[in-house]
Chains A and B, each alone.
Chain A
Amino acid sequence: MTDPRVPLKNPLLAAVLALVIPGAGHWYQERKFKSVIFFCGILTLHFWGTFLGHGQPVYSHVVVRSTPDSPQYEDSEPRSSFSWGYAAQAFTGLPAWPALIQRGRFKKTDDTVGFLDHAIDEQFVGVLKLDEGLESSRRAVTGHLQVRPAAEEGSRNVSGTLTLDESSIDPENPIREIQLEGPFRQGRKVFGSPWRRIACSIQAADGAESFGEIEGSVPRSFLNWFQAPRDNEELDRMSGSLARQFDVASVCTWIAGLLNLLAIWDAAQGPAYGYGDEQPPTRTDEEEKEEEEPNEKT
């Protein structure tokens, strides 16, 4: 039974408030000391984990790769499975719920895969693939990508340039600017990676024949990758770059959610072990009872 000194007010409302914002239910119940502990403690853990994991540890689904091609290139909803870590993270409340919105956006058919309706002017990281006669070559390059659709209303064909960084220029073939023209592919608009896949054909110097392509990534806007479903390739990339730090980050966000589950229970039912000033039964009390019992019998 809940201690009458604990002001639960409307327990259901308090529990809902505690679920939405950690500590809000206790603030409503005027248990402000605990409210501050829950708000600061749980949100610190959640945001510290998010910071450690470079904004990546919270996501509701993991995309299952069904083809050799990246699932970023699938225009219909890629097959995905629920991430059980999110079952804990979701209890953190508002800070973890954008993952549900991103999941909703992710499920929609993406018309922008293979279709460009606006110019791209971004930093590019990827691979330059060249077909030179019977030989073909691949090398990693970075540079500045500028492409625009062939038609104003948008097109599957694009034209533009890739201006290579100094470090990417081949000393034997010092071409700085690569002309791009032809079919174009780009990854899904909403996907849990800060890098959006992109591939485009290269136009030969005489402008007549395609002789290779660039394939790589350009930055994806924050609102389109934050807490969105991602594939194992992206998770491998995070684990590769952050190592154990990514695991610690994920665990922090899980613990934050699980602690808020306890806080929600506390808002609805009161503290689990009582008010805190209860005295354990002393030996003298027990002895007194034992002494009283034989007297009653006689």
Chain B
Amino acid sequence: MDLQLITQAIPITAIVCLVYTATRFELREKIISASRAMFLKTLGVLTGIYLFLIWFSS
């Protein structure tokens, strides 16, 4: 179940980043590049939190 929820989190994060950056900019290239950067940063932070929680609970 956990793995399933984590797998779902990736496309959900991608959608949220794309829609959010679309409300920030108008230019197509800027929307795509900003959403890509936001997606990678968010995924990095989430992975970091996840690894910390695994370490903390072990």
A residues engaging B (CB < 8 A)?
3, 5-6, 31, 33-34, 37-38, 41-42, 44-45, 48, 52, 243-245, 248, 252, 255, 259, 262-263, 265-266, 270-277
Query: In the complex, which residue of chain B has the Cβ closest to the Cβ of A263?
Result: B23
Total B residues in contact with A, Cβ cutoff 8 Å: 20
Given A243-B1, A244-B1, A248-B8; A275-B19 close (CB under 8 Å)? no
Q: How far is the CB of B29 from chain A (nearest CB, A)?
A: 8
Query: In the complex, which residue of chain A has the Cβ closest to the Cβ of B14?
Result: A41
A266 adjacent to B5 (CB under 8 Å): no
Given A244-B5, A245-B1, A276-B31; A44-B26 close (CB under 8 Å)? no
Residue-wise, chain B 20-33 has the 8 Å CB interface mask toward A (1 for contact) of 10111111111100
> Does chain A have a CB within 8 A of B16?
yes
Query: In the complex, which residue of chain A has the Cβ closest to the Cβ of B34?
Result: A276
In the bound assembly, the distance between CA atoms of A196 and B8 in angstroms comes to 32
In the bound assembly, the distance between CA atoms of A265 and B24 in angstroms comes to 10
B26 adjacent to A276 (CB under 8 Å): yes
A255 adjacent to B16 (CB under 8 Å): yes
Query: In the complex, which residue of chain A has the Cβ closest to the Cβ of B24?
Result: A273
Given A248-B5, A277-B30; A262-B16 close (CB under 8 Å)? no
A-side contacts of B23, CB under 8 Å = 259, 262-263, 265-266, 271-272
Q: How far is the CB of A39 from chain B (nearest CB, A)?
A: 10
> Does chain A have a CB within 8 A of B10?
no
A-side binding surface: helix, strand, loop or mixed? helix
A-B pairs with beta carbons under 8 A, tally: 74
User: Which of B12, B27, B29 is in CB contact (< 8 Å) with A252?
Assistant: B12
> Does chain A have a CB within 8 A of B18?
yes
Given A244-B5, A245-B5; A38-B19 close (CB under 8 Å)? yes
> Does chain A have a CB within 8 A of B40?
no
In the bound assembly, the distance between CA atoms of A248 and B4 in angstroms comes to 11
Q: How far is the CB of A106 from chain B (nearest CB, A)?
A: 31
In the bound assembly, the distance between CA atoms of A252 and B34 in angstroms comes to 22
Q: How far is the CB of A98 from chain B (nearest CB, A)?
A: 23
Given A42-B19, A244-B5, A263-B19; A5-B26 close (CB under 8 Å)? yes
Q: How far is the CB of A197 from chain B (nearest CB, A)?
A: 30
In the bound assembly, the distance between CA atoms of A263 and B16 in angstroms comes to 12
The 6 closest A-B pairs by CB, nearest first: A276-B30, A276-B27, A276-B25, A41-B19, A262-B23, A273-B24
B27 adjacent to A275 (CB under 8 Å): yes
Q: How far is the CB of A163 from chain B (nearest CB, A)?
A: 36
B19 adjacent to A271 (CB under 8 Å): no
B26 adjacent to A37 (CB under 8 Å): no
A-side contacts of B26, CB under 8 Å = 3, 5-6, 31, 34, 270-271, 274-276
Given A262-B23, A271-B24, A275-B25; A41-B18 close (CB under 8 Å)? yes
